[in-house]
Amino acid sequence: MKINRNFDNLVPNYLFAEIAKKTSAYATAHPEQKLIRLGIGDVTLPLPRTAVQAMKVGAGELSHKETFKGYPEYEGYDFVREAVAKYYAGFGVKIEADEVFISDGAKSDTGNIGDIFGADNTVTVPDPVYPVYVDANIMAGRRIVYAPGTRENRFLPMPDESIHADIIYLCSPNNPTGAAYSADQLKAWVDYAIKNDAVILYDAAYEAFIEDDCPRSIFAIDGARECAIEFCSLSKTAGFTGVRCGYTVIPKELVRDGHNIHALWYRRQATKFNGVSYPVQRAAAAVFSEEGQKEFKANIEYYKENARIISAALDELGIFYTGGKNSPYIWLECPKGMGSWEFFDYLLENAQVVGTPGEGFGSQGKGYFRLTSFGDRENTVEAVERIKKLLG
């Protein structure tokens, strides 16, 4: 037997293991110090009450023969898919309920979508980048071309007309940089994809954080239905990181190489995925109810206020950054010319604040650093004061 040797080409991801190791060693050596973690990518506020109640009702239904549910539909129950379509309509984007596939999260689908594409496709990903986009395609043996995000383009790379791409990964608002594409910028990507007969894989996991006129969906852009697939998640929208639920939207008219992409994805899911549990889907549908939206938007506003607090401090210190608006992430240039890991150590040892070195997200992340707004307010304020005192 043979192993898939493409795995040999993966760079071992020591980023978070190294962060944990360094943080643990410091905590052990300095037990009297209070560490504040601003590198956390997980939410900290509880689930919306409406979602929890719906989950309880759904679980209760499973205890009665009359309302018991077995295997769920591969693409999700109609009541959730209809709720997602109605949610999109609420910000002016029309999709059909039967174009929605309910899943256990955007990470799974952005990695698994490659199953329906050939290994000889060229893939374009931004750099810095969410690691799953890269690793999933390395595992499949595809050629990867990086679109560099830099200070000059404010970490919003644009198409390079001299390069042909078949598959394009975009994330807006972006993880890790927090930068969000404008409608004009996304239109340029859509036009490029159509010209190259490519497919855009659009990760909208942070769309609920958008507060200005940046598009919340690729399908707000004319032509996107001809070339795009959209992924989203309730992890950051409604705190479902420990519950797991997301959705993927594939227009029924999307065709490549003589094959209907919607039909191919259904075939893949029916083969390899048994669906999301009934109680979780009940909770997901409740998130999109009027009351559920009020509750999750309150949580998001809490995180956005944390981001504003961090951003205001960086403005005061004169440090360049992206994000902090439309996003829970703040991507800053390391001060005093420090490298990413150098700044990590400096911040840990002198302010007892933990963040994420940017080079863990790609070569363009060298000299940059990610902070997040997912902590609680008291710790965020204290961390900011420590950073201002250290760098001011």
Q: Domain segments of the chain: what residues?
A: 7-46+292-391, 49-289
Q: Would you state the pLDDT for residue 13? A: 67
Q: What is the CATH number of domain 49-289?
A: 3.40.640.10
Number of C-beta neighbours around residue 303 at 10 A: 22
- 319, burial (CB in 10 Å: exposed 0-12, middle 13-18, buried 19+): middle
CA distance 172 to 154: 13
Q: What pTM value is reported for the model?
A: 0.96
Helix (H) or strand (E) holding 277: none
Contacts of 361 (CB under 8 A, 6+ apart): 127, 128, 129, 130, 131, 176, 370
Residues (pLDDT < 70) of the chain are 13-14
Domain made up of 7-46+292-391: CATH architecture: Alpha-Beta Complex (3.90)
Q: Would you state the pLDDT for residue 228? A: 98
pLDDT in tens, 229-286: 999 999 999 999 999 999 999 999 999 999 999 999 999 999 999 999 999 999 999 9
Q: Which residue has the tokens 């994420």?
A: 356
Contacts of 57 (CB under 8 A, 6+ apart): 282
Q: Would you state the pLDDT for residue 40? A: 76
Distances (CA, A) of 127 to 1, 153, 187, 227, 293: 36, 12, 20, 22, 33
**Nearest-10 crossing angle of helices 78-90, 278-287:** 20
The pair phi, psi for residue 327, each rounded to 5°, is -160, 150
- 65, burial (CB in 10 Å: exposed 0-12, middle 13-18, buried 19+): exposed
CA distance 66 to 54: 18
CA distance 102 to 238: 15
Give me the torsion for CA of 104, 214, 191, 331, rounded to 10°: -70
